[in-house]
Homo-oligomer: A and B are copies of this chain.
Amino acid sequence: MLQFNKFESGKVKAVKIGLLGFGTVGGGTLTVLQRNMEEISRRAGREIKVVAIAVNDLGKKRDIDTGGIELTDRMLDIVNNPDIQVIVELIGGGDDVFNAVMQSLEKGKHVVTANKALIASHGNAIFRKASEKGLMVGFESAVAGGIPIIKLIREGLSANQIEWFVGIINGTCNYILSQMADRQREFDDVLEEAQELGYAEADPSFDVGGVDAAHKLTILASIAFGVPLRFESVYIQGIEHIQKIDIEYADELGFRMKHLGISRRTGDGLELRVHPALIPKQNLIASVSGVMNAVLIQADAVGQSMFYGPGAGSEPTASAVVADLIDVVRAFTTDPQNRVPHLAFQADSLIDLPVLDIGLIETSYYLRMQAVNRPGVLAAISSIFGENEISIDSILQKGHGQPDELVTVILMTQNTREKNLMKAVEKVEALDSVEGKIVWIRVERLP
């Protein structure tokens, strides 16, 4: 404790911060700052002190002892408080907090935020304002909670040209898919349980529909490739339609089902896509299960690396908020042009690469269809794929149907353009010998 008393003695002034929002992450941030005050001070060289918190309802009973910290229900009191040097925005949501953040910057305050929707949708404007004012905006906690993935890509891999990355960046989706695989259960069944356990929201569409992952992908792609934030260009597909039967067939073929955010720089432009995909079991990221997150990165000098940890939760997210605070505090006196740029690349050297239409991406596919068990049917299906320049990796019939009865056919393609695949799917579905719709799922072979 000797070491710590030095900081209390006033040798170095404590940094004063204000929290906007006091929910799960706000509470966690105060808890971590209080519990680890000594360690944090030993690292940062000064104390970081919450002096005011904006809450929604002043009357609400709270579990956390806020000590002498001023609570207010007027957010602007904190934004306008001249003593406060850093505003920590932990309210969440998009447009409504945008104004508070812009006003904080206008007032000359640095900002730390855990708000992925805000950064994905308004980051370009926020960073422009911050640069004008010579201020910092930290957003490590906006992506993959406890994994310092922003710092890793922005600083750790700064010598590399990043080629692609894939991320398991939504814990709810990963929990549901893991349960479907491990317990042979259907989506609706697991979702209900996830809601009871608090792993899924009452309205789960934001998570299972892929929007949350798309926010995070937007941010990661921007810092990985030096492009402006382009949330509106992300292709988004959720996991609501995934059936356990396909997870089982994929398992037999050596693949696991994951909901991924994927971005890749190609000669034609940038891939930005969020969707379920099958990945080879032997890749380490296939073993990431439950609510955990992981990001696998292919970079030219390093090769493959992977970063794994909790993607959400009170204290994991708070850990990233506080790490941002320490970074911001350290760079208070740094010449703004020597700070780490918000989007990893100097603002005037961002390149607005075109985002590839989903029809133009190249990947492999798993297809499941019901076909009549009759000579020539597999040949007819195969030839349609051939005509559309799609090479088939394997084709197998499940079970032994009687002649002229329906059997399940599973087909795996090699890499092909998605628009070719779609044409082939349409033509195969039109065959008399194929019944109903084809189930198709992208396959990422992760070289």
Contacts and interface: CB of A to CB of B under 8 A. Distances in A.
Interface of A: 3, 6, 28, 32-33, 35-36, 39-45, 140, 146-148, 151-152, 155-161, 226, 284, 287-288, 299-310, 313, 315-316, 318-323, 326-327, 330-335, 337-341, 344-346, 348-349, 351
Contacts of A334: 330-331, 333-334, 338
22 contacts: A6-B348, A32-B159, A36-B301, A39-B161, A39-B226, A42-B345, A43-B226, A43-B341, A43-B345, A146-B301, A148-B152, A151-B152, A152-B152, A159-B318, A159-B321, A159-B323, A301-B322, A302-B316, A302-B319, A303-B310, A307-B307, A331-B334
Contact of A308 (B45, B159, B307, B310): B307
A301 B318 contact: yes
Nearest to A156: B148
Contact of A339 (B6, B305, B330): B330
Contacts of A319: 157, 159-160, 299, 301-302
A146 B303 contact: yes
Contacts of A349: 3, 6, 41-42
Nearest to A288: B284
Contacts of A313: 303
Contact of A310 (B36, B305, B318, B344): B305
Contacts of A348: 3, 6
Contact of A158 (B316, B322, B351): B322
A309 B304 contact: yes
A140 B6 CA distance: 30
Give the most central of A140, A315, A318: most B CB within 10 Å: A315
Nearest to A306: B308
A109 to B, nearest CB: 18
A159 B30 CA distance: 11
Given A151-B151, A319-B157, A330 B340 contact: yes
Contacts of A44: 158
Which 5 residue pairs of A and B lie closest in terms of their CB atoms, listed nearest first? Answer: A148-B156, A305-B309, A159-B322, A146-B302, A301-B319
A300 B38 CA distance: 14
Contact of A302 (B302, B309, B337): B309
A151 B157 contact: no
Given A45-B337, A323-B158, A349-B3, A301 B316 contact: yes
A351 to B, nearest CB: 7
Contact of A148 (B157, B316, B326, B351): B157
A44 to B, nearest CB: 7
Contacts of A303: 146, 309-310, 313, 315-316
Contacts of A305: 146-147, 307-310
Contacts of A151: 151-152, 155-156
A346 B309 contact: no
Nearest to A223: B43
A322 B161 CA distance: 12
Contacts of A345: 42-43
Q: Which of A300, A322, A348, A349 has the most CB of B within 10 A?
A: A349
A157 B323 contact: yes
A331 B323 contact: no
Given A146-B305, A304-B310, 11 more contacts: A3-B351, A6-B348, A40-B159, A41-B349, A146-B303, A148-B155, A151-B156, A158-B326, A302-B309, A303-B315, A306-B308
A32 B44 CA distance: 32
A309 B322 CA distance: 26
Nearest to A338: B330
A287 B307 CA distance: 14
Contacts of A309: 302-306
A45, A321, A332 — most chain B CB neighbours (10 Å): A45
